[in-house]
Structure 1
Amino acid sequence: MSKPTDPAYHWNGAELDLDAYLARIGFDGERAPTVETLRKLVRAHTTSIPFENLEILLDRPILLDLKSLQDKLVRRRRGGYCYEQVGLFAAALERLGFGVTGLSARVTMGASEGVRPATHALLRVTTADDDRVWLCDVGFGSGPLEPYELSTETGEFTAGEWRFRLEHTTDELDGDLWVLHQFGRDGWIDRYTFPMTPQYRIDFAVGNHFVSTSPRSPFTTRPYVQRFLPDVHRVIDGVTMVTDRPDGTAETRLIEPSDLPKILSEEFDIDLTDADATALAAGSWRTT
Structure 2
Amino acid sequence: MWSGDELDLDAYLARIGYQGERGPGGELRPDLSTLKAVQRAHTAAIPFESLDVLLGRPVALDLKSIEDKLVHGRRGGYCYEQNSLLAAALERIGFEVSGRGARNRTRGDAVLAVTHAVLVVTVEGEPWLCDTGFGFQGPREPVPLGRPGAEVRQGEWSYRVREDEDGVLTLCMLRGDDWRDLYAFSPQPYLPVDYVVLNHYSSTHPASSFAGRLIVHLPGDGVRRALVGRELTRLHPDGRAEPEIVGPDGLLGVLDREFGLRLPDRDAAELVRIHRAED
TM-score range, shorter chain: over 0.9
Structure 1 residue matching 2:151: 3-state secondary structure? strand
Query: Deviation of residue 286 (structure 1)?
Result: 5.4
Equivalenced residues, count? 271
Per-residue deviation, 1:157? 2.0
Gaps in structure 1 of 5+ consecutive residues: 1-9
Runs of 4+ residues over 4 Å off in structure 1: 284-287
For residue 184 of structure 1, report the CA deviation from its aligned partner: 2.8
1:122 is paired with a residue whose SS is: strand
What whole-Å deviation, never above 9, does each CA across 1:62-98 have from its counterpart, x for those lacking one? Answer: 1111001111000011000000000100000000110
In structure 2, what is the equivalent of residue 205 of structure 1?
196
TM-score between both structures, scaled by the size of structure 2: 0.93
The amino acid across from 1:168 in the alignment is: E
Match of residue 273, structure 1, among 235, 239, 264: 264
Matched, 1:224 2:215: yes
What is the match of residue 52 of structure 1? 49
RMSD: 1.6
Alignment deviations for residues 229-276 of structure 1 (CA, whole Å, 9 cap, x no partner)? 111111001011100111212210111133211110111111011111
CA deviation vs aligned residue, 1:109-136 (integer Å, no higher than 9, x gap) = 04213x3111111101012xx2211110
Q: Does structure 1 conserve the Cα–Cα contact (< 8 Å) formed by 2:143 and 2:160?
A: no
Map of 1:5 onto structure 2: none
8 A contact 1:64–1:205 mirrored in 2: yes
Any gaps of 5 or more consecutive residues in structure 2? 23-27
Q: Cα–Cα, structure 1 residues 185 and 217, in superposed 2: closer, same or farther, change >3 Å?
A: farther
Secondary structure of residue in 1 paired with 2:199: helix
Shift of 1:284: 6.0
Which residue in 1 is equivalent to 2:30? Answer: 33
- The match for 1:89 is 86
> Cα gap change, 1:76/1:193 in structure 2, threshold over 3 Å: closer, same or farther?
same
Identity fraction in percent: 45
* Aligned equivalent of 1:108: 105
Work out which of the residue numbers 239, 247, 257 in structure 2 matches 1:248: 239
Contact 1:232–1:243 at 8 Å: present in 2 too?
Answer: yes
TM-score (norm 1): 0.90
SS of residue in 2 equivalent to 1:100: strand
Other-structure match for 2:132: 138
**1:142-157 equivalences in 2 (<5 Å):** 142=136, 143-157=138-152
